[in-house]
């Protein structure tokens, strides 16, 4: 076997890291959805009935936002795509026959998943805003200047939400660019020739 061409190590490293990351993220997302199911909610002891009702309502809103069918479907699709990408990256690094073509397909599928994730991150951020507003309104202590306090907290939450969305977009965009870079490396003529 000839020496490993330029780009193989980079492509396989990107595929292994991103594939592993997305697989773990999918498993964590599925576990979080399971943890937020209404039946698993146990309110703390000593709460007044109205506080228990408010906590149950907040948990229901949170579960409906995070546990939406789109999020579950995305996690279920991401997991096999991530596993496929990781396996393809390992095969590419070993120079297995046809591995460059399979890796290019796998990393392209992962890039598509990244785009869908970006859209859902934006949707999730927008969906969390009403929930956070409700939590803030319900958490104002008695006797406080409620209107002013809630207004200030809502401004803070809006800034935090926008900041979080920007960080999420930047992270998602960087993963998408890394996928394109890895695909380009795997499709170099010398890499395709090396893997047959």
Burial class (CB in 10 A: 0-12, 13-18, 19+), 117: buried
Is the full-model pTM beyond 0.85?
no
Average pLDDT on 54-74 reads: 67
Question: In the chain, what is the greatest distance between 2 CA atoms, to the nearest angstrom?
Answer: 78
Q: Is 164 a residue whose pLDDT tops 90? A: no
Residue 2 lies in a domain: no
Structural contact between residues 7 and 188, judged by C-beta atoms closer than 8 angstroms = yes
Give the DSSP letter of residue 40: G
Note the helical H segments in the chain: 8-35, 49-66, 69-94, 99-138, 146-186, 189-194
Average pLDDT on 2-14 reads: 91
95: left (phi over 0), alpha (psi -120 to 50) or beta: left
- To 5 degrees, how large is the angle CA 118–CA 159–CA 174? 30
Residue 96 lies in a domain: yes
Residue-range definition of the domain harbouring residue 72 = 8-194
What are the angstrom distances between the C-alpha of 27 and each of 81, 107, 195? 13, 19, 32
Q: Which secondary structure element, helix H or strand E, spans residue 47, and what is its range?
A: none
Q: How much is the CA Rg of the chain, to the nearest whole Å?
A: 22
| Dihedral angle sign, alpha carbons of residues 154, 155, 158, 160 | negative
Position 81 confidence tier, pLDDT thresholds 50, 70, 90? very high
In angstroms, the CA 5 to CA 8 distance is: 6
Q: Is 171 a residue whose pLDDT tops 60? A: yes
Q: Which of 161, 121, 160, 153 is nearest to 134 (CA)?
A: 153
Domains held by the chain: number: 1
Residue 3 lies in a domain: no
- pLDDT at site 39: 46
- pLDDT at site 66: 58
Residue 130 lies in a domain: yes
């Amino acid at each position: 076997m000839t020496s490993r061409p330029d780009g193989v190590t980079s492509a396989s490293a990107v595929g292994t890291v991103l594939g592993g990351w997305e697989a773990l993220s999918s498993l964590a997302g599925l576990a979080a959805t399971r943890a937020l199911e209404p039946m698993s909610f146990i309110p703390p002891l000593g709460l007044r009935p109205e506080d228990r009702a408010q906590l149950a309502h907040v948990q229901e809103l949170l579960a409906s936002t995070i546990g939406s069918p789109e999020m579950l479907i995305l996690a279920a699709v991401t997991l096999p795509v991530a596993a496929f990408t990781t396996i393809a990256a390992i095969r590419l690094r070993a120079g297995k026959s046809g591995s460059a073509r399979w890796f290019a397909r796998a990393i392209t599928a992962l890039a598509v998943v990244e785009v869908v994730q970006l859209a859902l991150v934006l949707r999730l951020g927008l969906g969390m805003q009403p929930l956070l507003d409700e939590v803030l309104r319900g958490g104002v202590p008695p006797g406080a200047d409620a209107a002013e306090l809630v207004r200030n907290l809502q401004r803070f939450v809006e800034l935090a939400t926008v900041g979080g969305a920007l960080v999420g977009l930047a992270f998602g965009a960087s993963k998408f660019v890394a996928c394109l870079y890895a695909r380009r490396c795997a499709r170099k003529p010398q890499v395709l020739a090396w893997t047959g």
